[in-house]
Chains A and B, each alone.
Chain A
Amino acid sequence: MITVSDLRKVYQQGNKDVVALDGVSLEVPTGKIHGIVGHSGAGKSTLVRCLTLLDQPTSGTVAVNGKELTNVNAAELRNARRRIGMVFQHANLFDSRTTEQNVAYPLELVGTPKDQIASKVAELLELVGLSQFAKAYPSQLSGGQRQRVGIARALTTDPDILLCDEPTSALDPKTTDEILDLVKELRNRLNITVLIITHEMHVVKQVCDSVSLLEGGKIVETGEIETVVTNASGRLASTLLPLPGDAPRAEGSGPILDLLYTGQQATEPVISSVARQFNTDVNVLAGSVEQLGEQQYAHLRLQLNADADVDAIVNHLISNGIAVTVKGAK
């Protein structure tokens, strides 16, 4: 479990203070995958550097399983860092070392006996499916393979937390999915807590149990995927379940409704029941249905007849567990 409380980071730029992190609090329970999304400039990089204490936060604390990383001496910090395995955007492997030497690095630091290193490295390379590349140098590997080595290296110290900083941003879509599948599989096998910092919504959809939106150094929205996706007033819902780019413009003058709902409701024939029960026509303007994790989620934009009883219909939908926003009549 990783607990971040009220993390602030203020940079001095000339004689001006720049607030990069403005009180970030966060808790990820053991065995969960949490995504932190945000545009560039939102404070993602600063957050990563503060979580690993590469940069000293101005105030606030970071704790892994209740043990604080902030306010400890250098030796304690080095030990604490070994509880966090970090995966970088560009893997940051050491070019002068082979795959197995890269994975062995964290153990070399503490003088682990050679035979123990060898068996641990072999086990990790097996885990990430790279056993046959043990003797290869990073330059001989593909981007996806390099990232696998990076993940194996991050796991060498049996950390409690796997911190991934834009782990797939430099990879193609197919490799991205392979790496994300690997992360998920590792979580399932090792029950490790995963924190993924990314700007790609795809990553969140693919692996995350919960998500936070970082903006201007603050977490402006956070929650389980299921909750944020069906929160009609939230910003994550429309980014996670966007309507197709050029949704057709409404022709008629009837009110427009945006519906967000999960799989259970999706099995009910909502639209036809509305049409039948309220004796009105329902026009689907746009819609997207996606599988996020184990669940199905739908985002629909409907237009009703101009004379339809909007309030009654909205109440009916809400009572069926569907989040509704009325976009108003055109």
Chain B
Amino acid sequence: MDFFTPTVLKAMGTATVETLQMVVISGIITVVIGLILGILLHVTGKGGLTPVRWFNVILSAIIVNITRSIPFAILMVALIPFSALVVGTSLGPIAASVSLTIGTIPFFARLVETALRDVSAGKVDAALVMGSTKMQTIRKVLVPEAMPGIIAAVTTTVVTLIGYSAMAGLVGGGGLGRMAYTYGYTRYNMPIMITTIIIIVLLVQLVQIIGDIIARKIDHR
């Protein structure tokens, strides 16, 4: 057991906290901005509540598709100067959260769009016929009816973020990814690498289980 010296244990604790920081910060911002973008994508799309072709084309083709087609590892490196500009440093979990957020927002926005598309057009018609404004239709019908799908999208996104955060760790974000790299790759310390893997797997499982429980609770379909 001399692999796990007090120094290593302390580093492991710090790394876990850093990973959680990255995931929580970028997760919250991704969900807020991605939800809005997803709604805009759906509402301005063909057959949406307010089709606005040029806006939808720009949002969909340029922003979402281009961002999504850049591999995250490359996007992350490319965004280092931007992160430095936003938070004043390119190192640490806060800086990593910037590129994590930008990398996952388009992904989450697409998932939200899909969840909204699954709400039957008849429900939207019903809302409009009862005299709802477009805003009321979005707030009171579209989003609540798509909520089970949106919760599933949040779960998938947070799981993806945990994976991305490990990658972000390599370029200065810290966290469990950095830990696995430093001890597992450069020092060939297998037990520590396996431990970080176990922590990450547990984190993912925990997120998935919580997500499933919430989804089941709010799904009345």
Give the interface of A toward B (CB within 8 A).
52, 54, 78-79, 81-82, 84, 86, 88, 90, 92, 94-97, 105-106, 108-110, 137-139, 153, 157
Contacts and interface: CB of A to CB of B under 8 A. Distances in A.
Given A137-B220, A138-B220, A139-B220, A92 B125 contact: yes
Given A139-B220, A157-B131, A96 B144 contact: yes
16 contacts: A52-B129, A81-B129, A82-B131, A86-B130, A88-B122, A92-B122, A96-B145, A97-B144, A106-B131, A109-B130, A109-B131, A110-B131, A137-B220, A139-B220, A153-B130, A157-B131
B198 interface: no
Nearest to B145: A96
Interface in B141-159: 141, 144-145, 147
Contacts of B130: 81-82, 86, 105-106, 109, 153, 157
Interface string B89-130: 000000000000000000000000000000010110111111
A193 to B, nearest CB: 16
B65 interface: no
A77 to B, nearest CB: 8
Given A94-B123, A106-B130, 19 more contacts: A54-B125, A81-B131, A86-B126, A86-B130, A88-B122, A88-B126, A92-B123, A94-B126, A94-B141, A95-B145, A95-B220, A95-B221, A96-B145, A96-B218, A96-B220, A105-B130, A108-B140, A109-B130, A110-B131
B147 A84 contact: no
B14 to A, nearest CB: 42
A52 B128 CA distance: 9
B145 A94 contact: yes
B136 interface: yes
Contacts of A88: 122, 125-126
B189 interface: no
B160 interface: no
A57 to B, nearest CB: 16
A90 B122 contact: yes
A136 to B, nearest CB: 10
A138 B145 CA distance: 12
B195 interface: no
A292 to B, nearest CB: 30
B132 interface: yes
* 9 smallest beta-carbon distances between A and B, as pairs: A92-B126, A137-B220, A92-B122, A96-B144, A78-B131, A106-B130, A82-B131, A86-B129, A81-B131
Nearest to B123: A92
B133 interface: yes
A266 B90 CA distance: 95
A178 B129 CA distance: 25
B115 to A, nearest CB: 13
Given A95-B145, A96-B145, A109-B131, A139 B126 contact: no
B187 to A, nearest CB: 52
A78 B133 CA distance: 7
Interface in B4-49: none
Contacts of A79: 131
Nearest to A102: B126
Contacts of B144: 94, 96-97
B160 to A, nearest CB: 26
Contacts of B128: 54, 81
Nearest to A51: B129
Nearest to B125: A54
A81 B221 CA distance: 28
Contacts of B132: 78, 109
B205 to A, nearest CB: 28
B136 A109 contact: yes
Nearest to B221: A95
A309 B181 CA distance: 108
Contacts of A96: 144-145, 147, 218, 220
B194 to A, nearest CB: 43
A90 B220 CA distance: 17
A84 B140 contact: no
B138 to A, nearest CB: 13
B136 to A, nearest CB: 6
Contacts of B136: 109
